[in-house]
Each structure stands twice: as C-alpha cells, then as structure tokens.
C-alpha cells in the first residue's frame, strides 16, 4: 500500500538522483531488508545517480563499506556520504582541536587531529561512551566557548529487534546545560544533503531521498528542496507520517520506493 502524496510539487523535475539512507532502509541490524539488494541494483543500472547518505557513527567509513559489500550491495566508495566524514571536514577546515565524544570503533577516524587542550566538541553516537564524566567534559568545554558539533538530531535507531537511543538526546543535553546551540553536521542539515547532490550534479528538485526517519530523512530532504519517501521499515512507527508537514510519499519499503522513483524518471 502506498500513499498518493509526493507525485507533483512546485518546481519538481524528473528525478536524476536517488539518495538512500542505510540503516532501516537497506538493512535492519544484520538483516538485509527483503528485496533491498535487488532494488539497489535496479537503481544502479538505471540512469539515476545513486548516493548513500548516513548519520551512522558506530563504524568507520571502511568498515561501513565492507559491511555493505558483505551484504552484497552494489555500492561505489564515491557514492557513500557519511556524517562522520562531514564532521572531519568541518573540524579540519577550521583547524580545531576536537574533544571527540564518539564510539570507540570510530576513534581512529579522528586520530589525525590534535586532541590535546581541546577547543571544540564533537558528539556522535558514543553508545557506552556516554557517561556523566564524558558529557560533563563536553559541557565544561562548551561553557568555555568551544563550539559544539553534533552528528545529527536522530532520536533513536533500530538494530535487530531493539530501538536504541541515538546521539540526539545527548547533544540536546549538552546544549541545554551549557545554553549553546549545536551545529548539526549530518541529516537533517541541508548542507549535508547538498554535498551528495553536488557530487551527483543534480538540483534538489531532481532528487528523491528515501529514509526511515521522518525527521532526519524526510523532513530534512523536504527542507532541502527534495522529494522524499518514508519507508515502513527500520525504525518506522505507525503514525510517523503524521509527525511532519509537507508532501512526501509513504511506501512499504525501499523496493516500492525505487519502483516509484524509476517510474517518475521514465
Ligand atoms: Mg535510517
């Protein structure tokens, strides 16, 4: 079943790019979503530019690519856009010394940065790394004027059969305590989507984002001027489609989303 929304809109053009979220769209924990592999293949074989955009921050870029390939997804390295890469770029462009409150699995991605006497704070999904001690350190640095960089505003994600708290609430906690506003580097930030679109050489009006997060994926894409499909897989909860305003498509899974985008592109 699909909703009838999302077919026309002001200034929309025939799709030239398809942006796919990873977790909850292509896989759920360690399980590939039924038909997702073939759907990605169909999109890759079409005239569409395919990009993969993720806020996932518990894996390095290399291990994320390895996981996708182990699951048999046809993904080129240049098609993968991660919020962790965007954070590295942001910090290095500003020559900052970040305190990285990140998962230990991705600490190596920040090994090139001078992290002594930090003058910036970066918070990603640190999971067990979130303790009073680490959050308080982030708070103290922000109180001293360090800019706060956050991976995303995701509330939770789904891994296998569990919902798990994401980084959003921890970033909000430090914002609240230090009375500062974080710069959000991944979805739903418009600049993050724009990087992926620029690499595909298409305007937002020619792109469709497919995701399971109604705020990060769908609302973010709409705010960036794209079309969006919300899938009923991954973290999707009944009624999520009513949590945001705007015109988007509700589909069962990435299989139906790809079918719809290909039909629009013809
Ligand atoms: Mg997702």
- The pLDDT tens digits along the chain (266 residues) read 344 455 556 678 899 999 999 999 999 989 999 999 999 999 999 999 999 999 999 999 999 999 999 999 989 999 999 999 999 999 999 999 999 999 999 999 999 999 999 999 999 999 999 999 999 999 999 999 999 999 999 999 888 789 999 999 999 999 999 999 999 999 999 999 999 999 999 999 999 999 999 999 999 999 999 999 999 999 999 999 999 999 999 999 999 999 999 999 88
Q: Which residues contact 98 (CB under 8 A, 6 or more apart)?
A: 91, 110, 113, 115, 118, 120, 121, 122, 149
Query: Could you tell me the two tokens for 101?
Result: 């409150």
Same domain, 107 and 143: yes
**Residue 33 DSSP code:** P
Query: Counting beta carbons within 10 angstroms of the beta carbon of residue 119, is it exposed (0 to 12), middle (13 to 18) or buried (19 or more)?
Result: middle
pTM of the model: 0.92
Distance 213 CA to ligand 1 centre (A): 6
Residue 132, Cβ density class (10 Å: 0-12 exposed, 13-18 middle, ≥19 buried): exposed
- CA dist 149 → 90, 167, 170, 197, 254 (Å): 9, 12, 12, 22, 31
Distance 122 CA to ligand 1 centre (A): 21
9, part of any domain? no
pLDDT of the residue at 160: 79
Task: Give how many domains the chain has, as a whole number.
Answer: 2
In a domain, 170, yes or no: yes
* Structural domain of 216: 17-83+188-260
Question: Could you tell me the distance, in angstroms and rounded to a whole number, from the CA of residue 240 to the centre of ligand 1?
Answer: 13
- 210 within a domain of the structure (yes/no): yes
Is there a domain that residue 136 lies in? yes
Distance 36 CA to ligand 1 centre (A): 14
Ligand 1 center–CA 219 separation, angstroms = 13
Closest CA to 206 of 184, 190, 221, 185: 221
* Cα–ligand 1 centroid distance for 81 (angstroms): 14
pLDDT at 84: 97
Distance (angstroms) between ligand 1 centre and the Cα of 141 equals 30
* Cα–ligand 1 centroid distance for 237 (angstroms): 12
CA of 236 to the centre of ligand 1 (A): 9
């Amino acid at each position: 079943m699909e909703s009838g929304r999302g077919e026309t809109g002001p200034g929309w053009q025939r799709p030239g790019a398809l942006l796919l979220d990873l977790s909850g769209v292509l896989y759920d924990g360690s399980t590939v979503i039924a038909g997702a592999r073939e759907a990605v293949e169909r999109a890759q074989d079409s005239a569409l530019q395919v990009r993969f955009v993720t806020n996932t921050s518990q894996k390095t870029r290399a291990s994320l690519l390895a996981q996708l390939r182990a699951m048999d997804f046809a993904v080129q390295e240049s098609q993968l856009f991660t919020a962790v890469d965007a954070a590295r770029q942001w910090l290095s462009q500003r020559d900052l010394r970040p305190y990285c409150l990140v998962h230990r699995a991705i600490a190596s991605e920040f090994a090139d940065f001078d992290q002594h006497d930090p003058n910036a704070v970066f918070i990603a999904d640190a999971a067990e790394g979130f303790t009073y001690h680490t959050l308080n350190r982030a708070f103290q640095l922000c109180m001293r004027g360090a800019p706060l960089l956050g991976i995303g505003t995701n509330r939770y994600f789904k891994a296998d059969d569990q919902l798990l708290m994401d980084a959003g609430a921890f970033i909000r906690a430090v914002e609240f305590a230090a009375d500062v506003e974080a710069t959000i580097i991944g979805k739903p930030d418009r600049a993050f989507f724009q990087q992926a679109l620029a690499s595909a050489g298409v305007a937002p009006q020619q792109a469709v984002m497919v995701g399971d997060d109604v705020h990060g994926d769908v609302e973010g894409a709409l705010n960036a001027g794209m079309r969006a499909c919300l899938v009923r897989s991954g973290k999707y909860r009944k009624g999520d489609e009513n949590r945001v305003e705007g015109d988007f498509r509700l589909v069962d899974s990435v299989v139906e989303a790809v079918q719809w985008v290909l039909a629009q592109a013809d």
